[in-house]
Structure formats: C-alpha cells, structure tokens
Structure 1
Amino acid sequence: MKKIIGIAVALVALIGVGYQFLKKPPAPQFKTLKVERGSILSAVSATGTLNAVVTVQVGTQVSGTLAKLYVDYNSPVKKGQPIAQIDPALLGAAVQQATGNVLSAEANLAKARVTLADTKRTLSRNRQLLEQGIIAQSDLDSAQTAYDSAQAGVSAAEASLVQSKGALKQAQTNLTYSTIRSPVDGIVVSRSVDVGQTVAASFQTPTLFTIAQDLTKMQIDTSVDESDISRVKLGQTATFTVDAYPDQQFTGTVVQIRNAPVVNQNVVTYVTVIAVDNRDLRLKPGMTANVSVQTQKKDTVLKLPSAALRFKPKPGKDEKPGAPKTAPQDGAGAAGKPPVATDRVKKGPSQKVYLLKGQQPVPVSVTTGISDASFVEVVAGSLKEGDEVIVEQVAPSKKQGMGPPMGPRF
C-alpha cells in the first residue's frame, strides 16, 4: 500500500512540474539582419512640376475681332512669324483718316508760309514809305503786327503737322499690331482664342497664346522642406521619375535655390530649380516629378539596417514598472516605458542597437553618419561586418493547454 501511495505521489509531482513547465511563457523570438559593407547615398526627396525654362504669353495690343489663326497647339514657330490676324478694317480706316489729317496740316502750313511772305513784303515797303514821309507810323505798326501774326501762324501750322504725323504713325502701328507675331522661336503650348472671337485690350492685355521657347531644355520647380534645405547645394545631381514613365529614371542638376520662403499651412518650403535635358521631347510641361536630390555618397562603409535603430525590446509579462531590465533602453522614462519609435532615424553618437546573444538582446552603442532609405552608416562603435542586429521582435505562437483536444460537443 505504501508503495502504491509513493508512486501516486510521484506521478502527481511529475504532472505538476510538467504543468508548470508548459504554463511558462515561451521565450521571445527576434528577427535579425547582418551588418555589411557597401555604398550609402544620402538624398533629399521632394516633388515638383516640369516647366519650360522660358515661357512667353503672347497677347494683343489692339482690340478687334480675330479674323485668322495661323498656328495651333504644338505648332513650331519662328521669331517674327505671323500667328494670328485681327480684322484690320477699322485700323486701316484710321490710317486713311490720319493720312488725310497730315495732308491737311501740310496745306495749312504752306498757306501760313505764304501769308508770312506777304506780310514780310508789306512790312518792308511800309518802312521805306515811312522814311519818305508818305505814310504814318500807325501804318507801319499795323504791318509789323500782321507780320508777327503770320510768323505765329506758321509755328502753329508746323505744330499741327507734327501732331498729325504722330497720329498717322500711331494708326500705322496699330495696323501693324493687327498681325500678331511670335516674339521667340519655340512651340505653341496653348491657344485660348478662336476665329470670330472679339478681344479687347482696353485695360489688360489678353493672353492669346503661350509659347515655350525651347522644350529640349526644361526645369523642375520643386518644394524642399526647411529641415532639408541646408543639405541641398548648387550643382548637385538629382534623379526623378514621372508617372508617364514609372520604370525610367531621369537625371537633372540643381541650378537655383530661391531664398523666398513658401508658407502653406504653417509648413515652410523653399523652391529649388532643377535643370533637365529633354532632347527626346518625352517630358512635357506640367508633369509631376518625384525628385531625389543626391546630397552625399560614401562607398565601402560599414552600414546597418535603419530598422535596427528603431528597435527597442518589449518588457516581459512578469516585469514590473521600475524593475531593472536586462537590456537598458535609450530615453526610457522614470516609469520604465520604452520610447515611441519613429520612422526618422536620428543621427548622433548616442544611438543603440541590439545584438542577439543567448536569446537575449544586448545593447551596443554606435555612432551613426549619413543614411538612405534602408541603411545607416556606422562611424564608430564595436559593431563589425557580419554581426546580426535585431530589427524586430516576433510574437511567439500561443500553445494549447494540457490534455488531449476536446472532442465534438453533442
């Protein structure tokens, strides 16, 4: 009987130990990646719009009805080439009227000169007669007055002629402006008028055409955030993609960084201009470009995954607030809470990564340098090539409780 009781007690103790062993939570699991050597390209990302380097808006300086259109969208044009014609009927009539005014002014000038010559002869004759005592002094004074008046008449006729010639020149210029010509060599990007439409240039010159001077050379006007603008320099290489060619990467060069800030919803950006070669004319004005400005590049440097800097170990279930941790954490508060991980990797000498040793994360201090989308340069620290750093803690799978699985319920 005692033997049976002893066996029973041993079985109960064994079952209790097994239950406690199975009840114990499984050890945490971690995902690791290797530290390696390679190239790191630091870049600033931005978005912008493709535009022609020089875009000219062509308008009209005279009002009237559009009679002819000589070009359309995408038409190549040369400087001085006619591109539209405003009905010249009224402008031609104004030229004729101004011409008649000039002829009338010339005739009046000739008449005034004849009158001046006649009064001059009369004045000279009266002076001789006065010396001979034939006429009185009043007659000489009257002749002098007529002569002075005739001189003033000539001056007035000359001024009227100049004024009439100016009006004629203005009318001729307006007639010339009725033929709208291209001011530059380029391509017509847009046309905002049709034949028969009336255009008025009374207060503001209307825009009839938009001409891009040279589409083989374009530029991207990008908006760079104020936190990144200090890294952008003139002459840096920029790569970009457009939605029209998602699998192709284009190249440009930073040619201008404008100092004027652009504030939109309290976000400050700066316009950065990137020159682009478009000899094949595949890029079109108005396309949205996703730009990456290459700010710095280093080759054969020790680099680790960016996710390793964002990783922080999770506290265990039995760990109480304020209890010491096997793996110290950067930036932990007084309550022992781990810091919130962010997508932006901070640079500086106080960074920590975790190595997996004995199934436990061990912190290692590193000094970081430049970074790209996936890797961060290791400037100093005890990490070496081939070390496996923890990038993620994987949740263990839950196990079923003791005993055989339950059968179907009836």
Structure 2
Amino acid sequence: MKLSLRRRALIVNGALAVLLAGGVGAAYASLTGETGAGAALPATVAVTRGTVMASVSASGSVESARTRSLDFTGGGTVESINVKAGDRVKKGQVLARLDDTEAAENLDAARASLEAAEDGDTGTASGYSQYVNALNAYKQAKRAYEGTVLKAPFSGTIISVNGTAGGSVGGSSGGTGGGSTGSTASTGSTTGATGSGGFIELADTGKLRIVGTFTEADVTRLKVGQAATVSFDALPGVSAGGKVTQIDPVAQTSDNVVRYPVTISLSDVPAQVRLGQTASVQVVVDRAEDVLTVPSTAVRTAGGQSTVILVRGGTQTTARVEVGVKGDQATEIRSGLNEGDLVVRQANATATTGQQGFPGLGGGLGGGVRIGGGGGNR
C-alpha cells in the first residue's frame, strides 16, 4: 500500500532531525575537546621521567689536523725514494735522497776555506772578515748537503709522492730537508688532508678532524668544548667521539644560505676510518636529566604557548604546559603535567602556528576549550 504524502514527509523529516542531532553532538565534542567514556580514544603516551637532549648536525669529510708539504732545500737529481703513498713513517725517517756528489764536494771545499781562514790572522779587520765569510759559506754548504736528504718532521702517513727517482727538482728555500723538523710550505697545523703540492705530502693520521658547516641558527647554539658524535657514511654502525675545537667567525654563503665552518676534533678514531671519508657530525647543544618528558609530537605550540591534550577518565582536555629543553625526540615538561599522566600523540603537534588560535575560536583559547583541566602539579 502506498504511503500518503504526509506520512512520507514525516519520515524524511525525522531522519533529518536524527542526523542533525548527531552532527551537533560531534561538533560540540570537537570544540570542547571531550569524548564520551565509550568513544574510541586516540593513541596516548604516558609522561615519564628521563633525559632530554637537543642537538644540531652537519656533514663534512675526514681530514688530518696536521699536514706538511715536504721539499728538498736544494736542487738536483732524485737518487732514491724510500716511501710510497699510504706508508706510515716515524719522525726522522729518511723519505727520499738527492744525488749529493756536488753538494759533498762543495762542503769539503767550504770546510777547507774555513780552516784556512781560522789559521790566518783574525786579529786584523781584513783577516776577521775573511774568517766570517768563510764561516758563512761553510754553513750554507752544509745546509745544502743536508738538504739532499728528506726526512719526516713527525710520525704520520704518506699522502702522496710527487716525483720519481732519476727526475730533477729545483729545491725550495722553505722546504723541509736534511732532518729539519720545521714547517714547510704548509706552515700551519690546520691544513687539509693534503698539503700545497710538495715533493712528498705527509699527514698525521693520529690527529683527525671534521670541518662541518652549520646554519647561522644552529651555530649560535655551539660552544667550544661541546661533545660531538661522528658517524661515517661508508661505515654503518661505526662512530667516533669528538668535541668542538673551533668556530669560524666568518660565514660562507651558498644559494642564499649562510653557514659557518666548525672544526670538530676526533678522539678514539676506529681503525677503519680513512682520510677523505664523508662523515656526519651531531653536537649536543642542550641537555636536561631526570626531568618529566613527553614525545615532542605530543606538544603543540601556538602563539608562544605550549599545550598538550591530556586524557583522564576517558575525557580529553587541553592542558597548558611549560616546556624546557626541546630535544630531538622528546621535550622537557617543567610544569602542567605529572609523571604517569596520559597525553595524546598529535600528528602535527610541533608545528608552530604563530598567533593563530584554535579553529572556530576567534584566535583565543576560550569557546569551551578548558585550559589546565586539573592536569597541573599536585
């Protein structure tokens, strides 16, 4: 039997009323932040006590903190080369030699001239002048003779050999030869993994470092002496300790991004680590121990205020909290929660929304959203 138009209208209107009532209820629950005891609750996590660490990171490559470019102080023909790239050498070890025949003859002649001048009348101005000239000539000839031998000024690893036996070299007045342990063309102790192109490049692999470039925001949180952890791209599971030893005051700008070079000196370096390997550096910039913590995803910051969604007795309440150290995974809670409280993991909790308020609340914190909800320290 067909329904009358009036009855059909009553049924349709009743169904619409039920749907409308359900929508109003859902909207109210959304605005008040409360759910019924029988409603399915979102994923929660308990407030615990622990350690919160904040860190900044950068990448770089492994290099030696001390390198030298070694050159013969005199010119001549290379007689022998005793090392190759990759060899480890000790301080004072002979690395290469020049043919010293001419240098030895010159030294003998200079010695004879000096002895003759010493036997002369050095009491007169002319005789003393001859003695001084002969002494200087002897010293110069001796340096030239000693400069035909290239020795290691410190223990390290040969990085490269830029010459061959039988070849000729022109010599360098600033080079390191004849057993001298002074610096060479690379006079500083903070050059890179290779020097400036000497006959032999030597690096101290016992003193390694990473020079990473940190953003201008991150570098303000760095201090000399802070601990660092270094991992290596080619060595999964291998890491080394280190500390910040230098923060460059001059920035480097690339693609409109300002970064500062920071030197991290390594300690307890694993044997597998090699010069030139790519590495990642993580520096701990803040730390709080034995504090209340929640996952950072549970904290929402808006308008300079931090809140969490507190769950108690099946009811959700927005609670304002005071945060401390904001770590990589967790955030310190200084007030507003107690150990054991349950809070909701929020998908986009850590996004800062500036001065904007909650949806539909006109930018404020009223409109039925309860702040605190009894979640303060008791």
TM bucket (normalised to shorter chain) is 0.5 to 0.7
Given the alignment of the two structures, is residue 391 of structure 1 paired with residue 346 of structure 2, yes or no?
A: yes
Residue 325 of structure 2: which of 362, 367, 370 is its match?
370
Superposition pairs for residues 181-330 of structure 1, below 5 Å? Answer: 181-201=151-171, 205=175, 207-213=198-204, 215-254=205-244, 256-258=245-247, 260-265=249-254, 267-269=258-260, 271-278=262-269, 280-310=270-300, 330=302
Residues 243-270 of structure 1: CA deviation (Å, up to 9, x unaligned): 122223332344x244633333461425
Rounded to whole Å, the distance in 2 between the matches of 1:212 and 1:202 is 20
Pairwise CA distance, 1:302: 2.7
Residues 257-308 of structure 1: CA deviation (Å, up to 9, x unaligned): 4463333346142524334123x52222233321222334334533233233
Superposition pairs for residues 86-235 of structure 1, below 5 Å? Answer: 86-95=98-107, 98=110, 106=117, 155-201=125-171, 205=175, 207-213=198-204, 215-235=205-225
Q: Indicate the residue corresponding to 1:41 in structure 2.
A: 53
Rounded to whole Å, the distance in 1 between the matches of 2:232 and 2:63 is 13
| 2:74/2:173 contact within 8 Å kept | no
Rounded to whole Å, the distance in 1 between the matches of 2:265 and 2:88 is 25
The alignment yields a C-alpha RMSD, in angstroms, of: 4.0
Rounded to whole Å, the distance in 1 between the matches of 2:228 and 2:71 is 36
SS of 1:307's equivalent? helix
Q: Indicate the residue corresponding to 1:336 in structure 2.
A: none
Residue 72 of structure 2: which of 54, 60, 67 is its match?
60
Residues 8-36 of structure 1: CA deviation (Å, up to 9, x unaligned): 43235434655787799898899544243
Q: Indicate the residue corresponding to 1:337 in structure 2.
A: none
Q: Indicate the residue corresponding to 1:133 in structure 2.
A: none
Rounded to whole Å, the distance in 2 between the matches of 1:363 and 1:56 is 63
Q: Indicate the residue corresponding to 1:322 in structure 2.
A: none
Between the two proteins, what is the percent identity of the paired residues?
A: 23
Rounded to whole Å, the distance in 2 between the matches of 1:386 and 1:187 is 58
Between Structure 1 and Structure 2, the one with more helix by share is 1
Rounded to whole Å, the distance in 1 between the matches of 2:321 and 2:67 is 52
Counterpart code for 2:98: I
TM-score (norm 2): 0.66
Pairwise CA distance, 1:73: 1.9
Q: Indicate the residue corresponding to 1:379 in structure 2.
A: 334
| 1:366/1:383 contact within 8 Å kept | no
Q: Indicate the residue corresponding to 1:402 in structure 2.
A: none
Rounded to whole Å, the distance in 2 between the matches of 1:66 and 1:20 is 102
| 2:323/2:331 contact within 8 Å kept | yes
SS of 2:78's equivalent? strand
Q: Indicate the residue corresponding to 1:137 in structure 2.
A: none
Rounded to whole Å, the distance in 2 between the matches of 1:362 and 1:95 is 94
Given the alignment of the two structures, is residue 75 of structure 1 paired with residue 75 of structure 2, yes or no?
A: no
Residues 26-57 of structure 1: CA deviation (Å, up to 9, x unaligned): 98899544243143222232334333343333
Counterpart code for 1:297: R
1:15 and 1:194, CA in 2 relative to 1: closer, same or farther beyond 3 A? Answer: farther
Unmatched runs of 5 consecutive residues or more in structure 2: 31-39, 176-196, 349-378
Paired positions, count: 310
| 2:64/2:209 contact within 8 Å kept | yes
